[in-house]
Amino acid sequence: MRSVRAYPFGLAAIVLATLATGCTSEKVVYRSGTNFAAPPAAGANFVGYYDVAGKQTVCGSCHVDFQTRWSKTKHASAWADLQASGGAKGYCEACHTVNNLGNFAADTAVGFRSTKADRYHDVQCESCHGSGLTHASAPSSANRPLASIVSDTTVTSGCGGCHTGSHDPFASEWQKSGHSKTWAASYKSTDPYCQGCHTGQGALANWGVKGNYVEKNNTSNGTKNMVSATCAVCHDPHGSDNDHQLRFPLNAPNLEANLCIKCHQRRATAGDVVTEPGNTRNSVHSPEGPTLLGNAGWFPPGMSAADSIIGTHGTPSRNPKLCATCHVQSYSGTDPVTKQQVFYTGHRFLATPCVGANGLPTDDQTCNVTAQTFRSCVAGGCHGTESAAKSAFTTAQARIALLVGQANTLVTQAKAGPKKAECTFAPNVTHTTCTGTQLNVSLANAPGSFVHNPFLVERLLIASINQMKKDYNLTVSASINLAPQLSMPVRIAGGAR
């Protein structure tokens, strides 16, 4: 077991002015003769470093951009950090050096494990790409050592080869999350549009990652071996300008630039629902991004469609990690029974998980609110106490449920009235008050909407109810207060929708 463990909560902003080149524009610089001394036979074709002190990999002598980027990642200091921890033991070394972990080497007695040579210190290129002596000696497309983007806990080839076990349970947590099932969730759709968000290959292709990897060409026949949203989808294995090697920033309040929102934004506005090619449903699909940023739903005539209604949760100056503040929250604790330290990496992506006695999320996530933890609301610095956050949660939930009930009642009445034709949605037809109200109910009912942006959802429902009342001559229950009850949003701003 590891004796050292730390989960930094702070954002040490790494702002690099520019990266020389992205991974898509890499130029192989072919040097005259590869710069390395032959590796020991027991290394089993792993080449490792040719300059240990300079952290110069053999691979990087040709792939210079990759070398530059990788050298700034924590993988490049894995050995030094292990030694500096004061807890280094023999059994710690495998995950902090080059060997079979992370790649397809069939034998375990390879690289550092069989030689203990310095050239195999750190998590280098070959940790993920596998042994490269043949390729480095005479590079060709036939012998290029491709990495895998799989993060399955059942294999050691991939990030899960090291990011696993009770102290680093990234892979096992991810496996329990919806992100390990994104392809299955889309009913294994072969449509490239669906695959762009529901498969690893589709997302990487959409995002301009052009290089090859083992599973890349599995897309050729659509349904074979597609992977879900794995580690290498969110994290750039070669490093990036963003903390934790994320491919895109977390703080961008922008549909196209934010890591999470790039996927979590399919059909959220009235315009999306009407214009999405082939769409026949008057409902939202992954509306979380636009909801957080204040633009989701149908804006009734009483509300300006140019406005966005944004709360603290969607304001980067107040909530710098946006989605990740609530959904990727790591912590450690002590199990009251075993007295062992336990770790949660946040990679189940649960905002307010049901937790067991040891403080870790339970497999069954269908508990009562009293068994949920609200620590992510407090750790973000937004809410003073967990109970204050819980109370805001239940208040918003009840208020939105009340308004949804009223809106549904009015829709039912309108469907029985003289203008009932206005209640039927048709593709490419602008929303009526009745179909718009139904869309807002779909948005309000989407899991998490009442937390993502309670102010927007409340105001959309109130305006919908008022408009239903007016257009269809209906009566609203006297017990429903149609003045906003949830506290004020941070801002109501005119802006592009």
Please state the φ and ψ torsions of residue 399, each to the nearest 5 degrees: -65, -45
Question: Nearer to ligand HEC by C-beta: 139 or 417?
Answer: 139
Contacts of 481 (CB under 8 A, 6+ apart): none
Distance of closest approach, residue 171 Cβ to ligand HEC, in angstroms: 4
Query: Token pair for residue 321?
Result: 């990690």
Question: Nearer to ligand HEC by C-beta: 161 or 300?
Answer: 161
Cα–Cα distance for residue pair 215/223, rounded to 1 Å: 12
Question: Nearer to ligand HEC by C-beta: 288 or 307?
Answer: 288
Cα–Cα distance for residue pair 72/461, rounded to 1 Å: 49
Under a CB-based contact definition with an 8 Å cutoff, are residues 439 and 298 in contact?
yes
Q: Is 447 exposed, middle or buried (0-12, 13-18, 19+ CB in 10 A)?
A: exposed
Question: Nearer to ligand HEC by C-beta: 288 or 422?
Answer: 288
Under a CB-based contact definition with an 8 Å cutoff, are residues 146 and 157 in contact?
no
How distant is the alpha carbon of residue 285 from its chain centre?
A: 17
Question: Nearer to ligand HEC by C-beta: 30 or 481?
Answer: 30
For CA atoms 123, 127, 128, 131, give the dihedral sign: positive
The amino acid occupying position 79 is: W
Question: Nearer to ligand HEC by C-beta: 159 or 423?
Answer: 159
Distance of closest approach, residue 457 Cβ to ligand HEC, in angstroms: 12
Distance of closest approach, residue 467 Cβ to ligand HEC, in angstroms: 26
Question: Nearer to ligand HEC by C-beta: 249 or 436?
Answer: 249
Contacts of 163 (CB under 8 A, 6+ apart): 170, 171, 231
Distance of closest approach, residue 21 Cβ to ligand HEC, in angstroms: 10
Distance of closest approach, residue 338 Cβ to ligand HEC, in angstroms: 18
Under a CB-based contact definition with an 8 Å cutoff, are residues 64 and 29 in contact?
yes
Distance of closest approach, residue 403 Cβ to ligand HEC, in angstroms: 16
Place of tokens 């089993």: 44
Cα–Cα distance for residue pair 371/389, rounded to 1 Å: 14
Question: Nearer to ligand HEC by C-beta: 289 or 294?
Answer: 289
Cα–Cα distance for residue pair 365/355, rounded to 1 Å: 8
The amino acid occupying position 232 is: A
Question: Nearer to ligand HEC by C-beta: 433 or 440?
Answer: 440
The amino acid occupying position 8 is: P
Under a CB-based contact definition with an 8 Å cutoff, are residues 172 and 185 in contact?
no
Cα–Cα distance for residue pair 113/329, rounded to 1 Å: 34
Please state the φ and ψ torsions of residue 342, each to the nearest 5 degrees: -120, 150
Under a CB-based contact definition with an 8 Å cutoff, are residues 341 and 334 in contact?
yes
Question: Nearer to ligand HEC by C-beta: 67 or 282?
Answer: 67
Distance of closest approach, residue 215 Cβ to ligand HEC, in angstroms: 9
Angle ∠(129,77,14) on CA atoms, nearest 5 = 100
Distance of closest approach, residue 474 Cβ to ligand HEC, in angstroms: 29
Distance of closest approach, residue 468 Cβ to ligand HEC, in angstroms: 26
Question: Nearer to ligand HEC by C-beta: 120 or 472?
Answer: 120
Distance of closest approach, residue 203 Cβ to ligand HEC, in angstroms: 4
Distance of closest approach, residue 337 Cβ to ligand HEC, in angstroms: 23
